[in-house]
A and B are shown apart, each in its own frame.
Chain A
Amino acid sequence: MGYNMTFDVESGDFATAGQASRKIKKKLQDLGISSKIIRRIAIAGYEGEMNLAIHSDGGQILLDAEPGVITLRLEDTGPGIGNVDLAMTEGWSTASDSVREMGFGAGMGLPNMRNNADGFEITSRPGVGTKIKMTFDL
């Protein structure tokens, strides 16, 4: 028994990025999740959503709420990350200047997600795509 929901995020869609995180936040509030945990999920979800918009060719955010754990999955269809360890380093970024000018691309996205989640797994294959699974214990 669980609740799940999928949100599509288009590549380069900065104008509406943030909407999925907002919806996730509202749903978790309705489910009675504590606001402290919601905040961490909102931060991680927002970073994920921005990552999909900035770096991916488009993807999805999948929310899963079950007794005891909330799972957030980010799945995209490319381009994939060449060196995952390097990408996890704080301050490391491949974002273009134009993206940085918009206030993004500081190289904190992935580390920030990891720091806010209780569980964090990332798998990526260049040319195929990236999958991130974050869990939040209730």
Chain B
Amino acid sequence: MDKLFHSVYLDRSKCKGCTTCLRNCPTGAIRVRGGKARIIENKCIDCGECIRICPHHAKLARTDPLKSIESFKYKVAIPAPTLLGQFKQRYSADRILTALKSIGFDEVLEVAKGAETVGRSLEFELEGGRDDLPMISSACPAVSNLIQVRFPELVGNITTLKSPMTLTARMAREQLLANSEHNGLKDEDIGIFFITPCAAKATEVTKSLSAGDPMDRIDGAISIKDLFRPLSAALGKGKCEAGLHTASSEGFSWAVSGGESSYLGKRRHSLHVDGISNVISVLDEIECGRLSNIDFFEGLACTGGCVGGCLTVENNFVAKMRIEMRAENERGNVVPALSEDDLRTFYASGDMHREQPLEPRIFQPLDEDFDKAIEKMNEIERIEASLPGIDCGSCGAPGCRAHAEDIVKGFARKIDCIFVLRDRLETLARLTNEMLQMGQPMSEQEETEDESK
């Protein structure tokens, strides 16, 4: 298995070893050991919940600094649709994209363009009929990761359509290379940078550099948060460049939950859910076979959709309102660039689909040997029953069950539980006391007993 890369990481110097992230991690991927949080790599799905919740700002996302674009001759920014929700309505989309271009890019292409292509192709994916319904969106990488980790049987339900980000990067690179006679650009001259609202997308960007079609690669991910200051400063300056904003309202509406599903319209039953714990509970139902009457499931890890990403700046509800207002004002302004026929040709070419389907992430059972696994399971339950059951997290595991599992796996000791420790100390104190009394002369002991009567 490839070594997993994660955008989410810990700044050890800031971590106080409190249990906030521990108890809020949706996949139980965090432990506190030696007074510092530790991320269990194969369980982490890069959802960013810990980044949002850490009171000491010790959980961070690895993204690229703006200056990293300097290593390329021709710099392309591909901003997530969410970017438009970060600024007030009085700044037109062209104005915002002009600001983005002005801070160092040669070209700007909205990821909402790729979203249009994916959105319009969803119907094609369903047309042929599928073995497993509902078909699950591949747009949110944290949800895809979640399915790979916790719902291995649903991996096949995820659409093999590439993400809007990937298709947009491909579109930009293809166009530049097709014009290389005029622009003189070689493949390695072109640097394509995703302007990301979240950690999971940054991880997806890093993966694109080592796997998949090289035409799809994205050279870096820069967070919206890091660009907010330079963008705000650039918004008021210079002349607004017309025609940078080419995406339709349907395309940039992917920034909010339900934007993708709306492409399927009323002909299909689709369900859109946002917030990682909500997504988990619906996936549980899908796995139990309850929702096979639904055609499409759009699950987004962050509340409200991508507007809630942990690397955004604006409040997610405010950003959502802004995206919706922009969409309302711009409805019908843009006619899709690709005709239905051209879209079908593109769809049939295979370039729109992932080369390798997703695979479940290997789940480590208690033991490879079934008998031993059963033995360990019984041991876990014996230990769990002896723990207080209040899931306080003081032991460093997210709950008593997880602590019992860690003990059996050899990663923790029973006395890491402060209640078990307290009981042991009490016993010790009682024994010490008994020993002390035993050491006293018989006569004194009798007197003490008399006094107690």
Q: At the interface, yes or no: A25 with Cβ under 8 Å from chain B?
A: yes
Known: A21-B288, A31-B370, A32-B370. A39 touches B153 (CB 8 A): yes
Bound CA span A2–B370, Å = 10
Q: At the interface, yes or no: B70 with Cβ under 8 Å from chain A?
A: no
Quick check: B284 and A22 within 8 Å, CB to CB? yes
Interface residues of A in 13-31 (CB under 8 A from B): 18, 21-22, 25, 27, 29-31
Known: A18-B288, A38-B153. A31 touches B365 (CB 8 A): yes
Quick check: B288 and A46 within 8 Å, CB to CB? yes
The total of Cβ contacts below 8 Å across the A-B interface reads 59
Quick check: B377 and A3 within 8 Å, CB to CB? yes
Bound CA span A25–B287, Å = 10
Bound CA span A30–B380, Å = 11
What is the CB-to-nearest-CB distance from B290 to chain A, in angstroms, rounded to a whole number? 7
Q: At the interface, yes or no: B363 with Cβ under 8 Å from chain A?
A: yes
What is the CB-to-nearest-CB distance from A111 to chain B, in angstroms, rounded to a whole number? 12
Number of interface residues of B (CB under 8 A): 23
Quick check: B153 and A31 within 8 Å, CB to CB? no
Contact partners of A65 in chain B: CB under 8 A: 374, 377
Q: At the interface, yes or no: A122 with Cβ under 8 Å from chain B?
A: no
Q: What string of 1s and 0s marks CB contacts (under 8 Å) between B354-387 and chain A?
A: 0000001001011110110111011001000000
Known: A22-B284, A29-B365. A35 touches B290 (CB 8 A): no
Contact partners of A42 in chain B: CB under 8 A: 287-289
Quick check: A32 and B153 within 8 Å, CB to CB? no
Q: What string of 1s and 0s marks CB contacts (under 8 Å) between B2-40 and chain A?
A: 000000000000000000000000000000000000000
What is the CB-to-nearest-CB distance from A2 to chain B, in angstroms, rounded to a whole number? 6
Quick check: B367 and A32 within 8 Å, CB to CB? yes
Quick check: B363 and A29 within 8 Å, CB to CB? yes
Q: At the interface, yes or no: B41 with Cβ under 8 Å from chain A?
A: no
Q: What string of 1s and 0s marks CB contacts (under 8 Å) between A51-78 and chain B?
A: 0000000000000010100000000000
